[in-house]
């Protein structure tokens, strides 16, 4: 589903954020990317959803070589990838329902189907009482769940999340993690960047550790 072949990424001439990274994440996998701040986790995620194009090497997502896609083709690729940002990036002047509906509006869904599908996912995340609220009136954990609902409402092939549990307490972390697991069970390939060791240890999934832009460890976290 996700393949990187000898990928390097430099933002500036002198420094590289990623150096010669190769990896394969099969369809249906669930992996954590870990490593210290500055290790290159966010850069790797941005390469997967084609926000960045690598300086060297190839990125292949669901059979498409991202490096060779035209500017027009990139939005099509992105439709199959749900993204959750660290700071949520919810629209403050729209309701929770509208924030999640955007994903389906872009895909051209009809209003009725959007309403049903959005309500359904918000309900599954325990947000049915919040549909008409604006994001700033929600707790951090609730905002993160809205961001997850927006990323998952169209059952994407891939879910990418950057430090999704960063500001959350243990109970909210558990909740977010179980949403990832459910999405994964439904067939979504999940890639989560985190430096939260406890989240990784409690998850029993695969872990890829980056250090200074290189993969230094790949391990299965055992039960």
Looking at residues 124 to 143 of the shown chain, list those that interact with ligand ADP (rule: CB under 6 A). 131
C-alpha span between 61 and 50 (Å, rounded)? 9
Closest listed residue to residue 78, CA positions, set 108, 47, 34, 55: 47
111 binds ligand ADP, rule: CB under 6 A: no
Question: Coil, helix or strand for 162?
Answer: strand
Q: Which of residues 31-70 bind ligand ADP (CB under 6 A)?
A: 35, 37-43
16 versus 189: smaller Cβ distance to ligand ADP: 16
Contact 41, 215 (CB under 8 A): no
Of 40 and 164, CB closest to ligand ADP: 40
Residue choice 120, 186, 197, 204 for contact with ligand ADP (CB under 6 A): 120
Sheet with 18-25, strands from edge to edge, namely 18-25, 2-9, 56-61, 64-65
Q: Are strands 81-84 and 56-61 parallel, antiparallel or unpaired?
A: unpaired
In the complex with ligand ADP, the residue whose CB is nearer, 37 or 222, is 37
CB of 9 to ligand ADP, least distance (A): 8
Phi (first) and psi of residue 106, to 5 degrees: -60, -30
Asked if 166 touches ligand ADP (CB under 6 A), the answer is no
Taking the complex as a whole, the smallest distance from the CB of residue 171 to ligand ADP amounts, in Å, to 25
Site membership for ligand ADP, residue 115 (CB under 6 A): yes
DSSP annotation of 111: H
Question: What span, in angstroms and rounded, lies between the C-alpha atoms of 34 and 197?
Answer: 8
Binding-residue total with ligand ADP (CB under 6 A): 16
Which two three-digit tokens encode residue 22? 């190769």
Q: Which of 7, 17, 84, 147 touches ligand ADP by CB under 6 A?
A: 17
The residues of the shown chain that bind ligand ADP, judged by CB under 6 A, are: 11-12, 17, 35, 37-43, 115-116, 119-120, 131
């Amino acid at each position: 589903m996700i393949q990187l072949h000898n990928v390097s990424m430099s933002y500036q001439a002198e420094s590289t954020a990623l150096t010669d990274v190769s990896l394969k994440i099969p369809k249906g996998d669930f992996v954590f990317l870990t490593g210290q701040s500055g290790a290159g986790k966010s850069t790797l995620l941005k390469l997967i959803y084609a926000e960045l194009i690598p300086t060297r090497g190839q990125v292949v997502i669901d059979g498409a070589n991202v490096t060779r896609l035209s500017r027009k083709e990139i939005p099509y690729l992105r439709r199959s990838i749900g993204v959750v940002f660290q700071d949520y990036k919810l629209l403050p002047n729209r309701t929770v329902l509208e924030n999640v509906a955007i994903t389906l509006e872009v895909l051209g869904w009809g209003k009725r189907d959007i309403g049903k599908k959005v309500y359904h996912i918000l309900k599954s995340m325990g947000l049915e009482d919040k549909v008409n609220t604006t994001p700033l009136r929600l707790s951090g954990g609730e905002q993160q769940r809205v961001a997850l609902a927006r990323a998952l409402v169209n059952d994407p092939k891939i879910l990418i999340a950057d430090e999704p549990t960063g500001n959350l307490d243990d109970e909210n972390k558990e909740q977010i993690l179980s949403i990832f697991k459910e999405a994964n069970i439904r067939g979504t390939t999940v890639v989560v960047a985190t430096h939260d060791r406890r989240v990784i240890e409690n998850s029993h999934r695969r872990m890829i550790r980056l250090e200074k832009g290189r993969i230094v460890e790949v391990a299965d976290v055992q039960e």
